[in-house]
Structure 1
Amino acid sequence: MSNLQTFQFLLNSSVFGVYIYQGEEAKIVFANDKIAQILKYDSKEELIGKSAIELVASDVDEVKSHIKRKAQGEIFAAEYIEHYLKSRTNAIIPVSLFAYTIEYNNKYSGLVLILDRTKEKSFEKLFLTLSQINQLIVRIEDEEEILEKICEIAIDEVGYLDCAIGYIDENKLFRQIYTKAKTKEIEDALKSLTIGADPNTPYGTGTVSKAYHTKEISLISQISKLESGHYWHDFFNKFNISSACSIPILKRGEVKYILLLHDTIANTFDSDHLHLLEQIKLDISFALEKVENEKWYQLILSAVNKSFEFVCIVDDNFKILYANDKAKKLSGYQTNEIIGKDLIDFCFFEQSEDFKKDIYKRLSSDRQYTGVISYRLKDNSPKDFLVNIMPYFKGEKVTNYIVIGKILEREDELLKSLEKALFYDPITNLPNTNYFIKEIEKFCQTVKYEDQIGALILIDPQEFRRINEAFGFDTGNKLLSLIASRLNQIVEKNDIVARLESEKFGVLIRPLRFKEDVLLVAKKILKELAMPYNTGNSHIILEFNLGIIFISKDVNNPSEILKMANIALVDAKQKGKNQIGFFRKDIEEDVIKRLNLITELERAVSNKEFIVYYQPYVDRDKNIVGLEALMRWKKGDNILLPSEFIEELEAGQYIVDVEDLIIDNVLDDISELGFSFPVSVNLSIKSLFRKDLSQSLISKLTRRKVKGNINIDISHNILNIEIIERSFLENFEYIRNLIENLKKFNIFFSIDDFGTGYSSLSYLSKLKVNFLKIDTSFVKNLNDKDTKNVTNAIIALSKSLNIKTIAEGVETVEQFEILKSMGCDYYQGFLFYRPMSKSELHKILNS
């Protein structure tokens, strides 16, 4: 390439900004498009005639001297790796500058090459901030000192224009705790600003307010784009502030402080830096949590040491790792005589290994051990201790045990009430699970050596949780006492009635003459318990299920007996309410399979193994007009449909976490693929009734970016929530308010599987939904005259209410044509597209 070609290449460069200046006043005679873009001018022509000296942001005389010398023909080159220019809006632009003397149009001229370093400088500042904050975490253990140091770092070491850390007070005003700036004038001006979190006031519409309400980072990349009447316009303009950022600092999930930063460089804070700003947010929150935890740790340690009880922490082999002062004082041992020793070795009997195995066995089944243990003191005397041993879990593994004990004197009143505390339920005065298991163990020993049989009946009141919700726990406890009283009147003297976990009861029948006798007892129990209960002004009827397992020489392991009784309950529940069930092997296999599935689902939720498939829906011309997001479980190399796991997922709280993940994935896919038509997401009833649903959805939408760094415009109704009829029948007012609230943010709502319930028509006109999905069952039976008429009526009704209809499960051309003739708006089904992965969807959209 010739010199002329090289010169021409530079002038037209899309990487380097280029301008040429001449004469004593260093007037610009040439500028390329890139320099106009860097300096935020609308066109390069605006730069022609300006002085190159005017573009220099710093007051360095050397730079201005170089400009004049080149314009006068002095031949030399100059290089500034870190230099600053002023943009058209007076924003500071960090650049690298390379200057040369050339001859242009027969005159000595200065040629300047500019490389924009805005992003590089912004990353540099944020990385430095992160580095310094991480050092704070290690070095400082005082919350106020951490906050003050963050302000010093932001200004003195990183170089931001100003920094303030404060909190939102009861009047919704931002109270600055620490404020620092490059100059005293800026610092005083920032302190005097009125900043708040009430969006109904002009001073409550900035980044601080948004960060406080959303708990998310709020930023303004280019302040110059704000309207001139903006509340803080004068402040921004006076100090040439070009970008702003507010970072919420969380403690225990709530916004405790807000970090406010301003900079003279535009785009210092933008979406490209959001991941670093998020890390800063997490690191500061972690630092404050660490300080808080350390403070509580010291308080708790002090309390533990001054406790009236002994406290020990042991590893999973019962080796002592820690003993408090009381443990050492009671036992007479010194620290070096206790640490590292086996806790069981101090027991005052010879069979310590068997005792250890028994404790392990109890811990594995009940997850904790409570009992009286006789310990050997240093003077070799025995002392009785009431001991509670609790496992400490890391993930699913037990890594340590916490042992708490209280010494028992023979005359101690505690001994008198100990048995009741350990073995009786305080609400019903029945024996509890501990007592019940001991009695089962005793009978099992008898069964081993004598020709006897017995039975265990497990009793489970149905929907008891709803009693507590509807009438309160006092009424619930009264009902439990009434159930206990009825059971005591039914059983024989040798039988044991116990209140087990939750609302379940157990009856141990011993011995039985004939197996058939247990059926008579069970039927009598069902009959008595099903009679109405009167609790004050309430007249309550309960339904029960009973599970029965026989105890014999073949079945005499207490933990196995209880497990089999629970499986017998499953058999009863499958039959319906007020039913008796028995242990069946096939049900046991199903239960084990279900338990394994629940364990796998827990791990899948933790590992975020749930992904999104998309099924498009089309208009009359088969153009894609929207998508439905469908949940899939990526289990290893397999993709599982919801029908294989959704029942177990919805049974727990995990469905909320998974649907939250699905929404995140959908919005990320929208950002990546850049399509603008609505995407439907199905939400379960549990997700719909989350208290923070509205705020969560709004926050997720407003902080996402789409392709090309353009904000998602939520006025495009990018998100569509699908709800089933049962959800609004359960709490109509809540759903109506939810729809109306989110409609303000232009979030769509659809009714899914319309027509499968009973009350849709009466509620439809009251809910401001955008879409109505005609259920597959109607589409499949369009050849049936009645079904066709109902479908036609649904479409006509929707049109009269200005609601768009989507027909689901369209699989044939005939179905498509009939629905078109009825005036259906959109169509979804295998005739057009099957559910597909994001990559498959991307190919289709591109084609």
Structure 2
Amino acid sequence: MSDIEFDKLKKSNEELAYIVKHAVSEIYILDFETLDYVFANDGALQNIGYTLDELLKLNVYDINKTLTRKHVESLRASCAINDSVSNISEHTRKDGTSYTVQASIQSIIYQEKKAYVLFDTDISKLKKVQKELREQKDILHHQAHHDALTGLPNRILFNDRLSQGIKKSKRHNEILALFFIDLDQFKQINDSLGHDTGDVVLKEASRRFSSKIREEDTLSRLGGDEFSVIAGGLKEASEASVLANKFIECMAEPIVVGAHTLYLTCSIGISFYPQDGQSAENLLKYADVAMYKAKDEGRNNYQTYSSKLTELMHEQVTMRTSLHKALKNDEFILNYQPQIDSMTDRIIGMEALIRWNHPELGRVSPAKFIPLAEETGFIVELDRWVMQEAMSKLSSWYEEGLNPGMLALNLAMKQIQKSDFLEFLKNTMKETNCLSEWIELEVTEGEIMKNPDESIATLKEINKLGITLAIDDFGTGYSSLSYLKKLPVNKLKIDQSFIKDTPDDEDDVAITKAVIALAKSLKMSVIAEGVETKAQKDFLILNECLQIQGYYYSPPVDAQKMRDMLIEQKEKEA
């Protein structure tokens, strides 16, 4: 080699050494046998925190705390076969902090000795970003499959768990129970106390339900105040009854939210795989149907599905879709049940009662379609039709010279809440020539107590028109006497459930006597409904309840029959 060529090579090596020394990447050279550090560039020293003199006194095991002898032997073997070997490891700095490196390892000749050169890249930030992305992915996955308020599985995860539960039950020949749980009257809490209070109630309810299920069961919030429980692995369907009772019992304790002590109940529907359905869709539908049956049975109970319930639900759907058409098609009619002065057996008034002649279902009981009308809000339109028809008929009887007395009309709470109701009432009386002293509006005790302050204000305005006000079904709504004395009420109507077993049932006798005494002390008149026997009539007369309504005198009759009864009474008195 000529001197010129040697000088060029020397200069090239010096430049290479400079580049290596000052490169940003970490470059280490280790003794082949001892794995002591024999070289480190500035980038490596800056990141590791040692000076070169300090590092040259250390071994690779001092920096890489996680490295094992077995791992080193594996890397040696790989380097002997391959030109380069990659490895991810943790390095510990002089100050004790650690960071992750991606290392490329090669065997070389350094200063005429075998050595390893390590090209290390700090990937800590990359690892951190990857970790954050994984965590964010987990959060998004959780949010997509869980309810934000309660943290319970949502409908998406519920559907997946139910499908898996059905498959498992099929493999093991086991019973799966699906519970559909709805909190009773929850909407009233949201409406009266606000959604913040409602949210606290939902979280507490979910906590209570969670405490009653097994680890393998799934509790989900399907939306609103609706919850569902998937309980697989059952040997007998009766096991579901035990769990349903636990859910009902756990809601018996009041829920305290701030200054409010709230009492809630729940209605539960249960369907079973495989006896009720083979698909998740059908099981959920059937559990929902059973839950509505529990609502119809008075709430705070559970019902299991049967095919008969599907027929009932179909009937309800048919009625729901037919309600609005019924008025236009003249399917509704009015019946009238006489109200009697028991001392003279004279008709002193009547209650107007709506009936529905459905073209497919036949005569539909008000107990079936009135709740649907209230639920859909159609009750307002229905109430107004009844008022117009009944007032018109009453006026025509008075014009004939008959004496029908007082007309009692049921008044829905939704009607009272309508801002135009008073105007409608005045216009209807004017259009039908019906005098206010002929009209009695009946409001149920339970409906009044849902919003007593608002009810009092509206009822006072109605009373100013000269219309009599009565509380229907008195004794069933747990009313507050402090509110009762504020209401502009003229009459109490004793519910037929208390009359039914009088005078044989001591409790009913005591309640009936108490209501009569209360009415007298508040200077109200009192009437008993549901009177069917002479013994009931005699008991009421003895206790000074002289106004009676019930089958003992007459069932509800159509307008023509009612007119005939009024004519007959007039002729007797002539």
TM class, shorter-length: 0.5 to 0.7
Cα 1:578/1:826, change in 2 over 3 Å: closer
Q: Distance in 1 between matches of 2:234 and 2:531?
A: 63
Q: What is the DSSP-based 3-state SS (H/G/I as helix, E as strand, rest coil) of the residue aligned with 1:628?
A: strand
> 5+ unaligned residues in a row in structure 2: which ranges?
1-136, 569-574
Alpha carbons 2:169, 2:176 under 8 Å: kept: no
Correspondences of 1:32-47 after superposition (within 5 Å) = none
Give how far 1:721 is off.
Answer: 0.6
1:667 maps to what in 2? 391
- The answer on 1:705 being equivalent to 2:425 is no
Cα 1:416/1:633, change in 2 over 3 Å: same
1:721 maps to what in 2? 441
Correspondences of 1:357-506 after superposition (within 5 Å) = 423-441=145-163, 444=166, 450-451=171-172, 453=174, 455-458=176-179, 460=181, 462-463=183-184, 464-469=186-191, 471-481=193-203, 497-506=219-228
Q: What is the DSSP-based 3-state SS (H/G/I as helix, E as strand, rest coil) of the residue aligned with 1:455?
A: strand
Alpha carbons 1:497, 1:508 under 8 Å: kept: yes
Give how far 1:616 is off.
Answer: 2.8
Cα 1:506/1:665, change in 2 over 3 Å: same
C-alpha RMSD of matched pairs (Å): 5.2
Alpha carbons 1:547, 1:565 under 8 Å: kept: yes
Q: Which has the larger radius of gyration?
A: 2
Alpha carbons 1:459, 1:544 under 8 Å: kept: no
1:384 maps to what in 2? none
Q: What is the DSSP-based 3-state SS (H/G/I as helix, E as strand, rest coil) of the residue aligned with 1:752?
A: strand
Give how far 1:746 is off.
Answer: 1.3
Correspondences of 1:813-824 after superposition (within 5 Å) = none
Alpha carbons 1:798, 1:805 under 8 Å: kept: yes
Cα 1:429/1:669, change in 2 over 3 Å: same
Cα 1:657/1:641, change in 2 over 3 Å: same
1:683 maps to what in 2? 411
Alpha carbons 1:424, 1:430 under 8 Å: kept: yes
Letter in 1 for 2:561: E
Q: What is the DSSP-based 3-state SS (H/G/I as helix, E as strand, rest coil) of the residue aligned with 1:499?
A: strand
Alpha carbons 1:447, 1:556 under 8 Å: kept: no
TM-score normalised by the chain length of structure 2: 0.56
Correspondences of 1:140-539 after superposition (within 5 Å) = 423-441=145-163, 444=166, 450-451=171-172, 453=174, 455-458=176-179, 460=181, 462-463=183-184, 464-469=186-191, 471-481=193-203, 497-508=219-230, 512=233
2:353 maps to what in 1? 630
1:373 maps to what in 2? none
Q: What is the DSSP-based 3-state SS (H/G/I as helix, E as strand, rest coil) of the residue aligned with 1:500?
A: strand
Alpha carbons 1:490, 1:525 under 8 Å: kept: yes
Give how far 1:661 is off.
Answer: 2.2
Which of 316, 341, 361 matches 1:597?
Answer: 316
Letter in 2 for 1:748: T
- The answer on 1:611 being equivalent to 2:337 is no
Q: What is the DSSP-based 3-state SS (H/G/I as helix, E as strand, rest coil) of the residue aligned with 2:466?
A: coil
Give how far 1:617 is off.
Answer: 3.0
Alpha carbons 2:180, 2:270 under 8 Å: kept: no
1:556 maps to what in 2? 278
Q: What is the DSSP-based 3-state SS (H/G/I as helix, E as strand, rest coil) of the residue aligned with 1:611?
A: strand
Letter in 2 for 1:667: M
Q: Structure 1, residues 684-727: CA drift from partner, whole Å, max 9, x if none?
A: 4454455544333223223x134xxxxx444xx13211233434
Give how far 1:748 is off.
Answer: 1.4
Q: Structure 1, residues 738-757: CA drift from partner, whole Å, max 9, x if none?
A: 33211221111123355677
Q: Distance in 2 between matches of 1:610 and 1:825?
A: 32
Give how far 1:564 is off.
Answer: 3.4
Q: What is the DSSP-based 3-state SS (H/G/I as helix, E as strand, rest coil) of the residue aligned with 1:769?
A: coil
> 5+ unaligned residues in a row in structure 1: which ranges?
1-414, 707-711
- The answer on 1:696 being equivalent to 2:416 is no
Letter in 2 for 1:606: K
Alpha carbons 1:457, 1:546 under 8 Å: kept: no
Alpha carbons 1:447, 1:553 under 8 Å: kept: no
Q: What is the DSSP-based 3-state SS (H/G/I as helix, E as strand, rest coil) of the residue aligned with 1:746?
A: coil
Cα 1:760/1:828, change in 2 over 3 Å: farther
Letter in 2 for 1:566: D
Cα 1:660/1:429, change in 2 over 3 Å: same
2:456 maps to what in 1? 736
The structure whose RCO (Cα within 8 Å, separation 6+) is larger is 2
1:839 maps to what in 2? 560
Cα 1:494/1:822, change in 2 over 3 Å: closer
Question: Which range moves more in the overlay, 623-632 or 777-786?
Answer: 777-786
Q: Matched residues, percent identical? A: 28
Give how far 1:577 is off.
Answer: 8.3
Q: What is the DSSP-based 3-state SS (H/G/I as helix, E as strand, rest coil) of the residue aligned with 2:278?
A: coil
TM-score normalised by the chain length of structure 1: 0.40
Q: What is the DSSP-based 3-state SS (H/G/I as helix, E as strand, rest coil) of the residue aligned with 1:659?
A: helix
Q: What is the DSSP-based 3-state SS (H/G/I as helix, E as strand, rest coil) of the residue aligned with 1:427?
A: coil
